[in-house]
Amino acid sequence: MTRRMLSSPIDSRSQTFYYRNSTTNCAPCKFKRRLKAEAQGSLDILLSLRKSFEEYRTFQDEWTEEFAFVERAGSAVCLICNDKIASMKRSNMKRHFDTRHATFASKYPAGDSRKKVCQELLSRVQASQQQLRVWTRQGDYNSDSFAGSLAIVRNGKPFTDGEYAKTFMLDVANELFDDLPNKDKIIKRIQDMPLLARTVRDRAVMMANQVEETQVKDIHAAPFFSLALDESTDISHLSQFSVIARYAAGDTLREESLAVLPIKGTTRGENLFKPFIEFAQEKNLPMDKLISVCTDGALCMVGKNKGFVALLRENENRPILSFHCIRHQEALSAQLRDGQLGEVMSLVIRVINFIVARALNDRQFKTLLDEVGNNYHGLLLHSNVRWLSRGKVLSRFAACLNEIWTFLEIKGIKHPELTETEWLLKFYHLVDMTEHLNQLNVKMQALKYIIRLSLKKISKYFAFMAL
């Protein structure tokens, strides 16, 4: 009977149905189904964990306002110091913010103030990135070449340093990336980076033109603007005329250099006015928005008939405010005239010139300072041109006064005033006074420092000196 059933013709579909139903409730099948269900449950748990993990590692927008971080190329970048954090975790950003930028956190507490500052920092980063993209779109150039050229120009290095920088990077890369599999690719990219002197110059010109166009555009958008002008002679005896503009770009007050114009021949008012007005016409500056000019008070600037300001008013046919730079006034008022303090300063300069202006004396005095363990390695020469020179020279002289006595005694030079109590009282009074004047001048040199704050600092200084 069994043989006939096995040998009877049964189609494959019926046979499959028979075996499937006959084995459904057996113990091994139940065990397999249980394992499959458990595996499916574990897979669901893993998928949910992975989803939550990915959400945890995804940059959250609120971190920008909370910790001043933004996402860039898969990493979290600090807007304050530009440091990168590879692991995009909230705890890492909080630790960085609390340890590295505690002052920022106290100055701008969480809320609208911090949100506003973080947005300003973010807008600056976006503006610099946009500017770099504009530079690279102007031709078939590499952004790395622009970045290298920008670093050279910012640090005031010659264009020929681009080749040195490239050689330096190649030498370092050979050792630094020696254990990486793509070392040859990195070396090849550095070798292909154009940093010849002419290339760096062309990049610098393109970037300068773009910055200049942006400045002129912002000045056109501003309701008004003012200028600060100064003429000086460099070490090559070339007269330079510096033009600095101050204007509002949105909610930001900007102070930026517009041009440094070379002056040929004399430096009278008409010699300064001609290149400036040519520059203004070439760049299409909105001179109708110019409201004030700040100068150093020189005759070529503020002369009644032929000064720069007078010629500018005549050209514009309207009144323009003229100011004497308050920092220059402070520097002029700090100059010493003939008197007791002037005599003290004259003696200090004579002693310094005796020591520093002679090579042998300078070497011997530096050796003496090293032997006694003085923190300084020499004296400073005085220059009337530099505003902060007097204070720095006197401070260094006071710090090395004992060694100066010893050195002059060895050389047989007699200056009995250096040991007199009355002279020392005047000297230390002069040291303290010039130190406070230097601090006042440095504070007023800060960017975005309006006249109200300058006057406030000056009032505080006079109140302090009156004590």
**Model pLDDT for residues 315-325, shown as the tens digit of each residue:** 989 998 888 77
- CB-CB contact of 276 with 230 (8 Å): no
Q: What is the pLDDT of residue 397?
A: 92
CB < 8 Å & 24+ apart, contacts of 161-169: 162/195, 162/196, 162/197, 162/199, 162/200, 163/195, 163/196, 163/197, 165/195, 166/190, 166/191, 166/193, 166/195
Domains of the chain, residue spans: 1-57, 62-135, 138-205, 224-324, 333-466
Measured distance between the N- and C-terminal CA atoms of the chain, rounded to whole angstroms:
128
Give the residue, 192 or 225, on which the prediction is more confident: 225
* Strands of the 290-295 sheet, one edge to the other: 252-263, 239-249, 225-233, 290-295, 321-324
Residue 437 has what pLDDT? Answer: 78
Residue identified by tokens 């770099």 is 132
Task: Give the H or E element holding residue 22.
Answer: helix 12-22
The span from the CA of 406 to the CA of 152, in Å, is: 46
The enclosing H or E element of 376 equals: none
pLDDT of residue 139: 47
Predicted local distance difference test score (pLDDT) of residue 40: 60
**What pLDDT does residue 14 have?**
45
User: pLDDT at residue 75 above 60?
Assistant: yes
- The DSSP code sequence of 398-442 is HHTHHHHHHHHHHHT---GGGG-HHHHHHHHHHHHHHHHHHHHHH
- Quick check: pTM over 0.95? no
Q: Which CATH class is domain 224-324?
A: alpha beta
Whole-number Å distance between alpha carbons of 67 and 93: 7
Mean per-residue pLDDT over the chain, rounded = 78
Q: What is the pLDDT of residue 331?
A: 60
- How many contiguous H segments (helices) and E segments (strands) does the chain have? 21, 8
Q: Which two tokens stand for residue 355?
A: 């020591």
Angle at Cα 385 formed by Cα 384 and Cα 390, nearest 5°? 45
The C-alpha atoms of residue 280 and residue 258 are separated, in whole angstroms, by: 10
Contact 389, 382 (CB under 8 A): yes
Nearest one of 432, 285, 436 to 344, comparing CA atoms = 432
Given the DSSP bridges, would you call strands 225-233 and 239-249 parallel, antiparallel or unpaired?
antiparallel
Give the strand pairing for 225-233 and 290-295.
parallel
pLDDT tens for residues 366-406?
A: 999 888 888 888 898 887 766 677 888 889 999 999 999 99
